[in-house]
Each structure stands twice: as structure tokens, then as C-alpha cells.
Amino acid sequence: MRSDRQKQLLEKLQKLLGEQNDLARQGKLSEVEALCERTNGLIEEISRAGILKLDEFARQRKQLADTYENLRLTLSDQKDEVTRELNRIRKGRKTIGVYRDSIRTARK
């Protein structure tokens, strides 16, 4: 594979990871997932070609690692936020259940 093609693949991966990070920050997790499927094929192609093992792409390898780490952190933050929201919903449902039971008891 020619060096230009290899560089294009790495640039495309960098762009897709950046887009995923932006979408994750906006809470658009279903769009992140869809984009992840496109990214996976690209990652497989890059991996099969061994592009990231080449010394000439050390800078891109570092950039990709940094971008991936940022994406991982953003998704972790989103997971924490979703967990907090689910806990609030559970507490709300529990409170409503207590109110409902109190109303039923008072009517009897």
C-alpha cells in the first residue's frame, strides 16, 4: 500500500474519532454507535496493513492515541451522567409508588 493511501486512512480515522467525540459530548450516543460501525472497518483495514507499526506514522499514532483517549473519557462521562439520571428515575418511581400506596390506604 502506498504511503499516500496509508496517510489518508489515518487522517480519515482521526476525523471519524473526532466526530464521535463531538457527538458523545452532545449526548448523541446512538449516532456515536452508528459512526463506530463505520470506524471499525477502517480500523481493521489499518490494522491488517500494519500502518501504525511503521515509524513514519509515529506522529499520527500519537495523535490517534490522544484522540481515542479523549473519546474514551467523554464516553465515560456520558455513562456516569446516564447512570445518575437512571438513579433519579428509580428514586422518582419509588416515591410515586409510595404515594400511590398511601392514597390507596387512605381510601380504604
pLDDT for the residue numbered 87: 93
- Residue 65's H or E segment, with its range, is helix 58-107
Identify the pLDDT of residue 15. 96
Instruction: Answer positive or negative: Cα dihedral of 73, 79, 83, 86.
Output: positive
pLDDT bracket for residue 108 (50, 70, 90): low
The amino acid present at 67, given as its one-letter code, is T
Establish if 82 belongs to a structural domain: no
Judge whether 29 lies within some domain: yes
Name the pTM for this structure. 0.74
Q: b or e along 16-46 (b: 16 or more beta carbons within 10 Å of the residue's beta carbon)?
A: bbebbbebbeeeeeeebeebeeebeeebeeb
Domain extent at residue 17: 3-77
Question: Is 9 part of a structural domain of the chain?
Answer: yes
Q: Which residues lie closer than 8 Å to 79 by C-beta, 6 or more apart?
A: none
pLDDT, mean of residues 16-42: 92
The average confidence (pLDDT) of the chain is 91
Residue 56 lies in a domain: yes
Task: Please give the pLDDT value at position 99.
Answer: 83
Q: Please say if the pLDDT value at position 16 is more than 90.
A: yes
If one counts the domains in the chain, the total is: 1
pLDDT confidence tier of residue 38, bands split at 50, 70 and 90: confident
Q: What would the pLDDT profile of 54-95 be if each residue is shown by its tens digit?
A: 999 999 999 999 999 999 999 999 888 889 999 999 999 998
